């Protein structure tokens, strides 16, 4: 049986890891915010041009905004799962083998264990709030449905079956921008809940 880490050591692990998570979130969200802003700026600049020319010039930025939106969310969830596993392993909290494999992204035989992006987001927030000891629920509303659309578009961009899969409309770009705003609000809501339950006082830097 794993020896329980003493309270002070567990507290030190918690504070160092969560503060590092906040730094990662701030860096990634700043990058994402800048890409979204740049793509919006370019779209406004060229909006009077014929649609064919407009899209030809803007699709590069639209594709980049979509990819970095989902990649940043995946990176943040990966780090959340790493911290969750570390906290479980340094306490006497029970953790099933199935959850351990999902958190570590490795099966017991060493093979990869990856969840689809939308399931990974749900799992990361559920397990992180569980190990920290407070409830947290993601609302599966219209904003969540839009997030799923952005994931589908990213999958088309990264695994194109035809050139049509690489096409990006202004609506696709707006969906990505809305997904960024949704996840930014979700992360800040989670950090606020951590503050409320006196787990740690954290605040993201303003992009």
| pLDDT one-digit tens code per residue, 150-197 | 999 999 999 999 999 999 888 998 999 899 999 999 999 998 888 787
The model's pTM: 0.83
- Per-residue pLDDT averaged across 110-138, rounded? 94
Q: Report the sign of the C-alpha dihedral through residues 80, 115, 65, 142, in that order.
A: negative
Chain segment 69-112, per-residue pLDDT in tens: 999 999 999 999 999 998 888 877 789 999 999 999 999 999 99
Q: Where are the domains of the chain?
A: 7-196
What is the reported pLDDT for 206? 38
pLDDT band for 44, please (50, 70, 90 cuts): confident
Cα–Cα separations (whole angstroms), residue 124 to 77, 105, 136, 163: 6, 12, 11, 34
Average predicted confidence (pLDDT) for the chain: 85
What is the reported pLDDT for 204? 41
Residue 21 · residue 79 · CB < 8 Å: yes
What is the reported pLDDT for 6? 62
């Amino acid at each position: 049986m794993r020896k329980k880490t003493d309270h002070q050591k567990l507290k030190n692990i918690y504070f160092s890891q969560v503060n590092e998570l906040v730094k990662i979130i701030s860096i990634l969200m700043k990058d994402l915010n800048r890409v979204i802003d740049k793509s919006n700026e370019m779209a406004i600049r060229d909006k009077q041009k014929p649609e064919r020319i407009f899209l030809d010039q803007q699709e590069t930025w639209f594709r980049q905004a979509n990819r970095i939106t989902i990649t940043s969310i995946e990176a943040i969830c990966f780090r959340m799962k790493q911290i969750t596993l570390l906290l479980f392993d340094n306490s006497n909290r029970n953790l099933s083998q199935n959850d351990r494999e999902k958190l570590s992204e490795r099966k017991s035989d060493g093979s990869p264990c990856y969840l689809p992006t939308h399931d990974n987001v749900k799992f990361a927030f559920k397990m992180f709030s569980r190990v920290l000891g407070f409830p947290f629920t993601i609302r599966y509303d219209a904003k969540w449905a839009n997030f799923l659309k952005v994931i589908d578009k990213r999958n088309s961009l990264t695994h194109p079956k035809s050139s049509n899969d690489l096409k990006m409309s202004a609506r696709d770009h707006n969906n990505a921008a809305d997904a960024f705003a949704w996840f930014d609000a979700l992360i800040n809501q989670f950090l606020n809940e951590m503050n409320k339950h006196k787990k740690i006082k954290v605040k993201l830097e303003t992009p």
